[in-house]
């Protein structure tokens, strides 16, 4: 059950949320949250490792797919898993998470952010949580020192997908480094990110471990998918080579670079069909570009796909031209489906894709957040690489077979789950718990300091959320005004095209010429 849909929440949670309960008595901002004051819940003594996943949301994306794959892969006879989300979102993937665990708590739909800390304390206490798994949740990181004061034996692991140097000096990689003293282990999705965290952010090497996301090669297997499905759905002639662009359509992915590549290749006579499979904030911008440059016969929009395998199956190549990545899930999936990848050399992409099994091209324009930020030289490099690969079907087939072999040998989903299972088991042994209790118990003397730090973070997150809401409202208002202006311009154009308007203009011009000659118009005689 998702909590907001439950008719009978856990007794401890009902007590926490009812009028007069500990949380509801808090006056709000900058009030120290109460620590847990409840007995441990029914989960105690069941012999399982209790893990709480602290995530921002449950939506379409590579990070969310990793979270879901890890949840699905953990042995349910050994683990009890819960999910807590901390960021407002539509959570379109929540049903998929609910299929794995009934214990899902979407905090923004339950409580004001002021009450999140008290919830976390009571939740950990009453559900006998052994390990927190934090990924991409700012609140999840912010509450860790305060929670360590109360639960010194608690194991804490985080997972970082990629440093983003445009945000807070490194994004979540920097956050993980800053909170490293209260983390047991930071896992990262590629060796490149591990090196960045050690060399640029000062993490001790033993604190950061590379755990590749991997892919389920038994599901992403070209032998299981009949060819021709994508061609049939999109109405593309099977003789045309298909270049797939499967991703969330966001600035990071540089979707306008894809279109510039498609345009250059089409103008050079290529019959390649570029298929965009995804949705996102820059989709409308892409569609406008296609209309403006008349690329409707070259670029096809397939929309987001619940099952993208038929598209990988039919594609000759997958294109990833992002300005930054960790190691993209689409690269894993495509290569497991024996479809070579042409990628930008960002993050850990080159740890999976090579110039032997695909193509790795330099990032020349930097990691600007602008979806249109690329250079003409980059367009040419991508167009040449794609055309060169498409021109040799025999070599392309060889590369495809090597792609799948590479995934099976070192990047399987089963290998990722096994590695995480080993780590979780090691961190929750009695000896490991006792060592943490000894290490972190002195933090209890700094509870007030940790609580104040948490409250400042909560106020910051609230203020930023309010700013984002105002920005969205402003953008909506600007869009409404622009739409109104456009409608007025269209109406004016319609009036100007009317015969009566043209006649009136001619009459006005005629009268003007007469006045200039100084001859008053003659009134017709009746």
Number of domains within the chain: 2
146 part of a folded domain: yes
Interhelix angle 329-336/393-410, nearest 10 degrees: 110
Question: Residue 16 above 60 pLDDT?
Answer: no
**Mean pLDDT calculated for residue range 67-90:** 95
- Output the average pLDDT for the chain: 88
Tokens coding 433:
């718990």
Based on the domain organization, do 335 and 323 belong to the same domain?
Answer: yes
Q: Which residue has the tokens 């080579």?
A: 241
Chain centroid offset of residue 169 CA: 19
**Mean pLDDT calculated for residue range 511-525:** 67
**In 411-498, which residue ranges form alpha helices assigned H by DSSP?**
413-427, 430-440, 447-496
Question: Residue 84 above 70 pLDDT?
Answer: yes
Question: Residue 2 above 60 pLDDT?
Answer: no
At 108 the pLDDT is 93
Based on the domain organization, do 178 and 70 belong to the same domain?
Answer: yes
Based on the domain organization, do 194 and 332 belong to the same domain?
Answer: no
Answer left, alpha or beta for residue 235, where phi above 0 means left and psi between -120 and 50 means alpha: left
- Vertex 140, ends 136 and 145: CA angle to 5°? 130
Q: How far apart are alpha carbons 473 and 480 in whole angstroms?
A: 10
Strands of 79-85's sheet in order across = 104-106, 79-85, 49-55, 131-134, 155-160, 185-188, 208-210
List all residues 6 or more positions away from 157 whose beta carbon is below 8 Å from its beta carbon: 131, 132, 133, 134, 183, 184, 185, 186, 187, 423, 424, 427
Question: Residue 38 above 60 pLDDT?
Answer: no
Based on the domain organization, do 154 and 197 belong to the same domain?
Answer: yes
**In 202-279, which residue ranges form alpha helices assigned H by DSSP?**
229-234, 255-267
Give the pLDDT band of residue 508 (cuts 50, 70, 90).
confident
Based on the domain organization, do 432 and 446 belong to the same domain?
Answer: yes
Tokens coding 484:
């109104």
**Mean pLDDT calculated for residue range 2-25:** 45
Q: What is the CATH number of the domain that holds 357?
A: 3.40.50.2000
**Over the stretch 334-351, which tens digit does the pLDDT of each residue have?**
999 999 999 999 999 999
Based on the domain organization, do 348 and 457 belong to the same domain?
Answer: no
Based on the domain organization, do 364 and 418 belong to the same domain?
Answer: no
Question: Residue 371 above 90 pLDDT?
Answer: no
Question: Residue 9 above 60 pLDDT?
Answer: no
Q: Which residue has the tokens 């300005």?
A: 323
DSSP for residue 319: E
8 Å CB contact between 205 and 174: no
**Mean pLDDT calculated for residue range 223-231:** 98
At 44 the pLDDT is 53
Based on the domain organization, do 195 and 256 belong to the same domain?
Answer: no
Query: How far is the CA of 271 from the CAs of 380, 383, 386, 392, in angstroms?
Result: 17, 13, 12, 15
User: Is residue 129 packed enough to be buried (19+ CB in 10 Å), middle (13-18) or exposed (0-12)?
Assistant: buried
Based on the domain organization, do 229 and 332 belong to the same domain?
Answer: yes
- Vertex 351, ends 348 and 355: CA angle to 5°? 115
**Mean pLDDT calculated for residue range 72-83:** 96
488 part of a folded domain: no
Question: How crowded is residue 285: how many other Cβ atoms within 10 Å of its Cβ?
Answer: 17
**Mean pLDDT calculated for residue range 167-187:** 95
At 368 the pLDDT is 59
Highest-scoring range by mean pLDDT, 20-29, 120-129, 260-269: 260-269
Q: Specify the range with the lowest mean pLDDT, choosing from 87-91, 286-290, 522-526.
A: 522-526
Based on the domain organization, do 418 and 405 belong to the same domain?
Answer: no
Give the pLDDT band of residue 3 (cuts 50, 70, 90).
very low
Strands of 317-320's sheet in order across = 299-301, 273-277, 242-246, 317-320, 341-344, 359-361
At 14 the pLDDT is 57
Range of the domain at 320: 222-411
**DSSP letters for 181-213:** GG-SEEEESSHHHHHHHHHTT---GGGEEE---
At 68 the pLDDT is 95
Q: Which residue has the tokens 């000062």?
A: 202
User: What is the number of H-type helices and E-type strands within the chain?
Assistant: 19, 13
8 Å CB contact between 93 and 71: no
The last residue of a domain, from among 440, 467, 494: 467
332 part of a folded domain: yes
Question: Residue 28 above 60 pLDDT?
Answer: no
At 516 the pLDDT is 76
Based on the domain organization, do 198 and 277 belong to the same domain?
Answer: no
Based on the domain organization, do 371 and 421 belong to the same domain?
Answer: no
List all residues 6 or more positions away from 66 whose beta carbon is below 8 Å from its beta carbon: 159, 161, 189, 213, 329
Q: How far apart are alpha carbons 217 and 366 in whole angstroms?
A: 33
At 495 the pLDDT is 73
515 part of a folded domain: no
């Amino acid at each position: 059950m998702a909590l907001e849909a439950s008719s009978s929440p856990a007794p401890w949670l009902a007590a926490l949320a009812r009028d007069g309960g500990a949380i509801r008595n808090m006056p709000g901002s900058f009030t120290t949250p109460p620590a847990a004051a409840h007995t441990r819940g029914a989960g105690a003594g069941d012999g399982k490792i209790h893990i709480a996943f602290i995530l921002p949301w449950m939506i379409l994306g590579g990070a969310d797919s990793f979270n879901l794959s890890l949840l699905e892969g953990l042995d349910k006879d050994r683990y009890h898993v819960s999910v807590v989300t901390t960021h407002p979102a539509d959570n379109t993937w929540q049903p998929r998470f609910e299929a794995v665990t009934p214990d899902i708590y979407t905090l923004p739909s339950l409580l004001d952010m002021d009450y999140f800390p008290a919830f976390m304390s009571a939740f950990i206490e009453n559900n006998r949580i052994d390990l927190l798994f934090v990924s991409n949740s700012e609140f999840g990181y912010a509450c860790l020192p305060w929670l360590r004061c109360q639960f010194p034996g608690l194991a804490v692991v985080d997972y970082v997908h990629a440093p983003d140097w445009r945000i807070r000096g490194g994004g979540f990689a920097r956050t993980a480094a800053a909170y490293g003293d209260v983390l047991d282990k930071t896992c990262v999705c590629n060796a490149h990110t591990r090196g960045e965290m050690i060399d640029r952010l000062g993490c001790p090497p033993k604190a950061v471990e590379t755990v590749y996301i991997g892919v389920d090669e038994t599901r992403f297997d070209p032998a299981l998918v009949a060819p021709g499905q994508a061609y049939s759905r999109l109405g593309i002639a099977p003789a045309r080579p298909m270049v797939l662009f499967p991703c969330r359509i966001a600035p990071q992915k540089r979707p306008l670079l894809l279109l510039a590549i498609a345009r250059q290749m089409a103008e050079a006579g290529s019959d390649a069909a570029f298929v965009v499979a995804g949705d996102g904030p820059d989709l409308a911008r892409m569609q406008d570009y296609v209309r403006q440059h008349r690329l409707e016969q070259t670029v096809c929009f397939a929309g987001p796909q619940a099952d993208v395998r038929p598209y990988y199956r039919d594609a000759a190549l997958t294109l990833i031209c992002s300005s930054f990545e960790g190691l993209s899930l689409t690269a894993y999936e495509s290569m497991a489906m024996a479809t070579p990848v042409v990628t930008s050399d960002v993050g850990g992409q080159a740890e999976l894709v090579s110039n032997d099994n695909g193509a790795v091209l330099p990032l020349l324009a930097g990691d600007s957040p602008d979806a249109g930020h690329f250079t003409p030289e980059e367009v040419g490099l991508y167009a040449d690489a794609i055309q060169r690969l498409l021109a040799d079907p025999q070599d392309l087939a060889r590369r495809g077979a090597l792609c799948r072999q590479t995934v099976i040998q070192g990047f399987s989903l089963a290998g990722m789950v096994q590695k995480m299972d080993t780590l979780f088991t090691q961190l929750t042994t009695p000896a490991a718990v006792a060592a943490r209790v000894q290490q972190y118990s002195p933090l209890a003397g700094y509870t007030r300091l940790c609580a104040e730090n948490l409250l400042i973070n909560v106020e910051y997150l609230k203020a930023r959320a309010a700013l984002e809401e105002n920005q969205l409202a402003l953008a909506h208002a600007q869009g409404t005004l622009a739409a109104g202006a456009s409608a007025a311009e269209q109406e004016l154009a319609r009036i100007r095209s009317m015969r009566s308007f043209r006649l009136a203009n001619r009459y006005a011009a005629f009268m003007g010429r007469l006045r200039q000659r100084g001859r008053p118009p003659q009134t017709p005689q009746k």
